[in-house]
Amino acid sequence: MYNQRIINTNKDASRFCKGGISVPLKLNVGDIVELKKFHPCGGNQFTIMRAGMDFRIRCNTCGTQIWINRPDLEKRVKKIIEKE
Ligand SMILES: [Zn+2]
């Protein structure tokens, strides 16, 4: 009985420690991001126009603006080129 309780506690502890915390990317208005996925026009560099729960990004090649939510954008960002 007593042993079983200890085992259970350990299992809970390991579950608690498992899984990394994902650090949110620092994405600011004006930053240029390079995405893994190419835009249909062939470009993969986008400028952040608006940041928040949803992001508005503009394709630097053709100028099209698109709305994208933060998790999707973070998944696609390959590189952040900060504005100088
Ligand atoms: Zn484009």
**pLDDT tens readout for residues 25-49:** 789 999 999 999 999 999 999 999 9
Q: Is the pLDDT of residue 17 over 50?
A: no
Q: Ligand 1 centre and the CA of 65: distance in Å? A: 8
Tell me the average pLDDT across 56-81.
Answer: 96
Tell me what pLDDT residue 1 has: 57
Where do the domains of the chain lie? 22-81
Q: How far does the centroid of ligand 1 lie from the alpha carbon of residue 53, in Å?
A: 23
Rounded CA gap, 45 and 62, in Å? 10
Phi, psi of 40 (to 5 degrees): -55, -25
Q: Determine if the pTM surpasses 0.75.
A: no
Q: What is the model's pLDDT at position 25?
A: 78
**36 C-alpha vs ligand 1 centroid, how far in Å?**
13
Looking at the predicted structure, is the pLDDT value of residue 70 above 80? yes
Of the chain, the percentage scoring pLDDT greater than 70 comes to 70
